[in-house]
Amino acid sequence: MASTATVHQTKWWSGGKSPFNLEYGKLMMWYFLMSDAFTFGAFLISYGTVRFSQNFWPDPNVVFNAFPGAGHANLPLAFVSVMTFILIISSVTMVLAVHAGHNNDKKGVVKWLFWTIIGGLAFLSCQAWEWTHLLTGEHAALVNGHIELLPQTTSINPWGPLVDHSVAIDALKNSTPQVIARLVHEHDASHSLPHLLSLPKEELLGMVNTAELHVRQTGPVAFGGYFFGITGFHGFHVFSGVIINIIMLIMTQKDVFARRGHYLMIEKAGLYWHFVDLVWVFVFLCFYLI
Amino acid sequence: MEQQLMSPEMTFQHHTDDAEFKRRVRKTTILLSVITIFELAIGLTIYTIHKGENPSHLLVLMFKGMVCILTLAKAYYIVSVFMHLGDEIRNMIMTIVVPLMLFIWFITAFLIDGNSYKNLRNKYDSHFRESTSVEHKPAAKE
């Protein structure tokens, strides 16, 4: 009995065999990704803790309902699903690049890496648009009895509970003419904003479409910090992944891997890229779906 | 095309046949897309439930739980097929997966902690309770 155990052990540890049948670099990439998973996990869990400690949390379908070029149309989840599919597809092209590397197919590696980079850049562009939209938005919020037009930033959250209609009408009367002019302009573009700004407050009040007036209280401030912090950290991973993929593309073009005789470096870059997709799956879940 | 032994650190080469590989990648891509579409459908369902009068919190919670399970399925397919972890040696898989078990405690403990903080504040901090509670309208609450 004891001898069989020894035989089994020497089989794996006496040299000549690789216990994990993996090269060192790839194994270390796995362990790096595992530690990175804990970093992202800690961020998302702390977001969860703060969210669970609040009586109210904004509904993601209300916050993320814009689409480029669609104006004020209410399209919940539409844009983020585009971003999600971009990352899934770029993950697939990366799998194909790694597979082409297995077959020492330089042309295939170049082609699929190129599409992966395009996918990564497309995702980053989408994120840039979304951030800009949130940071420059103007949402009617009730502040100290009057209405203010607030963006979503790390210190302001305009997505609190909806204010009762009568309270909103009272708050409207206390608001500045500039705010009222913008509220009129939002639903009725037939007057130019400079023209509206020149009108007296009483006339502007009569022009506001009160049936369409949705005013919210300000919401939990932590929302912005977590959203921009975590999607920013993920976006930084996408960005560095794109840089790594570009370096891989240049090295492939210069025949570095062909001379080395293997394309294992593409596999490591591929692991990193898939991890970025994996993290997005969870960011998508935590910020946009639930 | 000829596959060669890639590195002295590898004892044997994983066999990947081209047709089999293509079939697996196609299957996984379709699976991930279908799961994502399902998730989006559930997300929109939650949205319509919230919009209605007297949203059922139990129903919303159930749908949210379903989305979480679907997300875990997606994560499994990405890691196992796209990252080829499923093709590695079992011992290697375990060195990755076993430490990740820490998340079970991590998530449970911290969500319970957040929830307990909310309950304590609602009990002892009446300003917090009155300024953040939304009883008078069917708005979203988590």
Note the CATH architecture for domain A23-136+236-289: Up-down Bundle (1.20)
The pTM for the full model equals 0.89
Return the residue matching tokens 């209605």: B52
**Average pLDDT for chain B:** 85
pLDDT of residue A214: 87
* Model confidence at B140: pLDDT above 50: no
How many beta-carbon pairs under 8 angstroms link A with B?
193
* Both structure tokens of A25: 């670099």
Local confidence band at B52 (pLDDT 50, 70, 90 cut-offs): confident
- Is A210 strand, coil or helix? helix
ipTM of the complex: 0.86
Residue positions counted in chain A: 290
- Chain A residues within 8 A of B100 when measuring between CB atoms: 34, 37
| Beta sheet of A146-150, edge-to-edge order | A146-150, A139-143, A216-217
Cα distance from A131 to chain B (closest Cα, Å)?
21
What are the pLDDT digits (tens) for A220-258?
Answer: 999 999 999 999 999 999 999 999 999 999 999 999 999
Interatomic CA distance for residues A112 and A65, integer angstroms = 33
Integer-rounded Cα radius of gyration of chain B: 23
Question: Which residue, A173, A137, A170, is CA-closest to A152?
Answer: A137
User: From B97, which residue of chain A is nearest by alpha-carbon distance?
Assistant: A34
Instruction: Pull the structure tokens for residue A14.
Output: 């006496």
Question: Scanning every residue of chain A, which has its alpha carbon at the shortest distance from the alpha carbon of B128?
Answer: A55
pLDDT, mean of each 10-residue run, chain A (290 residues):
48 71 90 96 97 92 88 86 95 95 93 97 96 93 92 93 89 90 82 85 84 88 95 97 97 94 93 96 94
pLDDT in tens, B77-134: 999 999 999 888 899 999 999 999 999 999 999 999 999 999 999 999 988 888 887 6
- Could you state, in order of their start, the residue ranges of all structural domains in chain B? 12-99, 101-142
Question: Does A275 contact chain B (CB < 8 Å)?
Answer: yes
Per-domain boundaries in chain A = 23-136+236-289, 139-217
* Cross-chain Cβ contact A49/B142 below 8 Å: no
Residues of A in contact with B74 (CB under 8 A): 281
- Shortest Cα–Cα distance, A206 to chain B (Å): 28
Q: Which residue of A has its CA nearest to B77?
A: A278
Q: Are A283 and A44 in contact (CB under 8 A)?
A: yes
